[in-house]
Chains A and B, each alone.
Chain A
Amino acid sequence: MKRTRWIEVRGWSLTSPYLIFTLIFFIIPLIWGIVLLFTNWNLISPHRDFVGFANFIEALKSPKVHAAFFTTYKVMAIFIPTVLTSSLAIALLINSIPRLKGLISVGFFLPYLVSGVAVALVVNGVLSYNSPLSPMFRRLFGCVPDWFGNSTLAVMVISLMITWKLSGYYALIFLSGLSSIPKELYEAADIDGAGWWTKLFKITIPMLYPALYTVIILAVGLMFGIFTEPYMLTGGGPDLATHTWVLEIYYQAFSSMRAGYASMIALINATVTFISIIIIRKIMEGWGKRHGWT
């Protein structure tokens, strides 16, 4: 009896740092956020009115929330294919190198560590009207493209910036997946006369299912938290084309001082993220099942 109690105490003691962390940084803010949802409080006023579902109705009708919803999927439509292709290509490249794999992997991982603000400043300079690259753009396109004034181009630039940042990170996940594929499968395919592309699509990609699953879930989740790139480069414009969920939450909370309304948008964002990830999971699991993964 005494021993069981000691085991219980030890268990609670060992898990307490995580439990305390969760309580302070997740549970209490979550409860506080739920309370805020139904108020018009600005965080500092002594007066706080209960507004019922007014914040919810306003958020559902808001063109900016609609814009944030669609921007996420527009960026996702560019980001997911490009990041999967580039990170898989990097992983295959590193995997085929006989030596210094670790060092080269770190090289590709470095963009992940670079500050988003610094990258945005560099991109801003490189794509500016009078940048050293503008003569090249003039030769290629006959003009300097309005990278941040054109809705399509602005979405494309932001998607590609995030792709650049994350390709090396996702490549590491793919690399670990590649190392666990049995060599015998490729040897058998070689005997059957399969080419490189056949082996890629029939062996490598299906066998990378666990890594692919992880990367896609991470990438989809990330799309709902984009902030630095549009904040630094476009402010959400042109015409709300790059207006994201977090940008809207930030503006409402810190510019408009509407903590209650910002909390409501955050809750809607969390719900949309959750539903999107569930759908992607179902699709991925269906694909995995077809390739023998259960």
Chain B
Amino acid sequence: MKKLVVLLSVLALMLAAVAVVSTAAPINVTYWTAPNPTQEVFWRDLAEKFNASQDEINVYVTAMVETPTSESTITNAIAGGKAPASSGNIFPGFGATLVNSEALVALDTLPGWDELVQKRAMGEIVEGWKFADGHVYILPIYANAMLFGWRIDILKELGFNEPPTTYSGIMDVGAALKAEYPDKFLMARDALINPTWWQRWFDFFMLYDAASDGQPFVTGSKVTANDEAVIAVFQFYGDLKANDYLLTQKATSPFETGLAVWRDLGPWSFPGWKENWPELVLNETFVTAPPPLPDDVTLAAGAQPKTFADAKGLVVYAQRSAEEQAAIWEFIKWVFTDPINDRAWVDATGMLPMRGDLTTNATFAKVFENNPALKGYADEMAYAVPAMANDKFADIQTALGEEGLIPVILGKKTPEQGWADAKAAIEAILAR
């Protein structure tokens, strides 16, 4: 009997030990990063440091598959019940699809949100990321306020010491360029006649956001675009093509080779230029500038034209358990409450973190010393307009190209007719 009691006691102790061990086991959570080697390295490095700093949570970082797109990979994962705890690379339009599908956690309901917003100086920024229900579902990580690049070396040869700021100024540069170099173009962009939806971010929306002072293109299920601004942008591109200033054929590195003197330019181009086009030097061969404006649009003193921002953030998925959501949130807070990590982000990716103190926080001073070209992007951050937060973003932007911009550029429609047709098509999409 004694032996049995001892045996049972030992068994009970062993079971208790197992239970203690299992309750002490860390929670494993997965974070999906964009399929970009630099971002992957950044997140893996931080996850390792975070995992080493405590025992309760283990964060695994995996690059999401981008075949066919990162959005479809996330969709498939949710559909299959295999969503990660959190992922990056989410832009507002896709975020709207996820929010409407009840797939995301409202981040502003999680503990420590206010502290995170305050420490990252994002108070004003997150206002623009609120969805229709007033909640924030995407934590903005980075924004590339898009600028235009100009071949200032060629412009100077033509007698222009600064890039033009108005549509008529650009036409003057075009005329001078054609007179001097008939084979060169102001802009070479074959994507202008490609209906793929996201191309519109980098041609139409850059100019539209400037011309309309950032007036929302769509609000809820209504087209709220500034008609005059849309028509002005259509007219401008149509005029560029009609005057042979715009090349819509495919061309290899047209800006870099000097075939074209003007292009949309994101900061992600600079690392590649450093390696492959060392002759492209800021203020010597090229400069960056905000989008030009229609001649009849004037800005308030000291203001800059608005522009499209290629902005993305991270989300927490509702599909995971509350315990996993809390665990990944701890990691996210740990990363973004320390500006050193945002500094590491710029160093690793060359893209600017979305924080309000970028130009005033001493942590980032060295960034601009080492990469002077990024300063222009940081200055433009306050004037950056993110992509539309509408779940029909792809259809809307495809219709904008197919019914409006592309036929106008090809001379098949007038700007007014193009916009009337595009607007009707977009309204039909929104009513669906």
Contact = CB atoms under 8 A, between A and B. Distances in A.
Given A45-B100, A238-B193, A254-B75, 14 more contacts: A42-B75, A124-B250, A127-B250, A128-B249, A129-B249, A129-B259, A148-B190, A234-B194, A235-B194, A235-B196, A237-B406, A251-B398, A254-B72, A257-B71
Nearest to B249: A129
B349 interface: no
Interface string A212-253: 000000000000000000000011111110000000001101
A257 B75 contact: yes
B59 to A, nearest CB: 24
Interface centre among A44, A46, A125, A235 (most CB of B within 10 A): A44
Contact of B249 (A46, A147, A240): A147
B250 A128 contact: yes
A52 interface: no
A130 interface: yes
B249 A149 contact: yes
A9 B239 CA distance: 75
Contacts of A255: 69, 71, 197, 394-395, 398
Interface string B376-420: 000000000000000110110010001000110010100000000
A43 interface: yes
A129 B247 contact: yes
B236 to A, nearest CB: 19
Given A43-B75, A239-B410, A250 B68 contact: yes
A262 B67 CA distance: 18
B188 A129 contact: yes
A44 B250 contact: no
23 contacts: A43-B75, A44-B103, A45-B101, A45-B102, A124-B250, A125-B252, A128-B250, A130-B251, A130-B252, A146-B248, A149-B193, A234-B194, A235-B196, A237-B195, A238-B193, A238-B410, A239-B407, A240-B195, A253-B72, A254-B68, A254-B69, A254-B75, A257-B394
A131 interface: yes
Interface string A115-151: 0000000001101111100000000000010111100
A45 B97 CA distance: 9
Contacts of A176: none
Nearest to A42: B101
The 8 closest A-B pairs by CB, nearest first: A45-B101, A255-B394, A129-B251, A254-B72, A235-B196, A235-B194, A44-B78, A129-B249
A: contact size bracket = 20 to 34
Interface centre among B248, B259, B412 (most CB of A within 10 A): B248
Contacts of A16: none
A147 B190 CA distance: 11
Nearest to A144: B249
Contacts of B76: 43
Nearest to A131: B252
Contacts of B252: 125, 128, 130-131
B248 A44 contact: no
Given A130-B257, A148-B190, A149-B248, A256 B101 contact: no
Interface in A166-196: none
B385 to A, nearest CB: 22
A257 B197 CA distance: 14
A42 B188 CA distance: 37
Given A254-B71, A257-B75, A237 B193 contact: yes
B79 interface: yes
A256 B395 contact: yes
B370 to A, nearest CB: 33
Contact of B254 (A130, A148, A234): A130
Nearest to B250: A128
Interface in B196-245: 196-197, 199
Contacts of B426: none
Nearest to B251: A129
A256 B249 contact: no
A122 to B, nearest CB: 12
Nearest to B395: A256
B98 interface: yes
B418 to A, nearest CB: 13
Contacts of B395: 255-256
B15 to A, nearest CB: 40
A236 B98 CA distance: 27
Nearest to B429: A256
Contacts of B199: 235
A245 to B, nearest CB: 16
A238 B407 CA distance: 9
Nearest to B94: A257
Nearest to B392: A256
Contacts of A131: 252
